[in-house]
């Protein structure tokens, strides 16, 4: 199975603009348990927090889901996210939601273009210039003359 743009759209993973994750599923079924191991490898594309251009995020991780098969499912049985409880007679394994959660949790909290070898940001230069301008403006505001006056007062007393 491959999780690509179509999957991200279907899963409403709206942060992900594109990508291609190979998904290998190893499933071991015993009488009372189904052990599902998912191995993801590939990359996703998501907008940069700084300049909004897509960032290529390599991904390689494994996740595991245990499905417990029981004669009857009791209310509250499915409170644990890592263990699903299902009726042993009627269970149908739909791992779509699980796969979606895995990818969502594997996303880095901060998505930003990496710096190049010289320590320079590889973000969109136009956006960087704009950000620089904005921070220069706020730096100016730090030097509010009224504050300077107050500072001098303090020194005088
Ligand atoms: Zn960027």
CA 150 – CA 29 distance, rounded (Å): 74
Single out the residue of 138, 133, 29, 37 nearest to residue 88, CA to CA: 29
CA 4 – CA 8 distance, rounded (Å): 6
Q: How far is the CA of 113 from the centre of ligand 1 (A)?
A: 4
CA 111 – CA 101 distance, rounded (Å): 18
- Judge whether 69 and 86 are in contact, CB under 8 Å: yes
Task: Give tens-digit pLDDT for 89-122.
Answer: 888 888 888 898 899 999 999 999 999 999 999 9
**Could you tell me where the DSSP H helices lie in the chain?**
5-10, 96-106, 125-142, 145-156
Split at pLDDT 50, 70, 90, the class of 13 is confident
- Locate the DSSP E strands across 1-157: 2-4, 18-29, 33-47, 54-70, 83-87
Ion ligand 1 neighbours, Cβ < 5 Å: 48, 50-51, 113, 123
Q: How far is the CA of 138 from the centre of ligand 1 (A)?
A: 21
Q: How far is the CA of 136 from the centre of ligand 1 (A)?
A: 19
Task: Give tens-digit pLDDT for 43-84.
Answer: 999 999 999 999 999 999 999 999 999 998 888 777 777 788
């Amino acid at each position: 199975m491959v999780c690509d743009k179509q999957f991200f759209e279907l899963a409403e993973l709206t942060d992900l603009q594109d990508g291609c994750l190979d998904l290998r599923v190893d499933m071991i079924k015993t009488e009372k348990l189904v052990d599902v191991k998912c191995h993801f490898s590939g990359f996703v594309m998501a907008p940069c927090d700084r300049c909004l251009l897509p960032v290529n995020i390599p991904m390689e991780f494994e996740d595991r889901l245990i499905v417990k098969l029981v004669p009857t499912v009791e209310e509250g049985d499915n409170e644990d996210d890592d263990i699903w409880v299902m009726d042993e007679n009627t269970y149908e394994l739909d791992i779509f939601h699980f796969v979606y959660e895995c990818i969502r949790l594997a996303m880095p909290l901060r998505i930003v273009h990496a710096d190049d070898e010289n320590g320079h940001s590889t973000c969109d230069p136009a956006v960087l210039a704009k950000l620089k301008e904005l921070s220069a403006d706020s730096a100016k505001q730090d030097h509010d003359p009224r504050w300077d006056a107050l500072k001098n007062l303090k020194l005088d007393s």
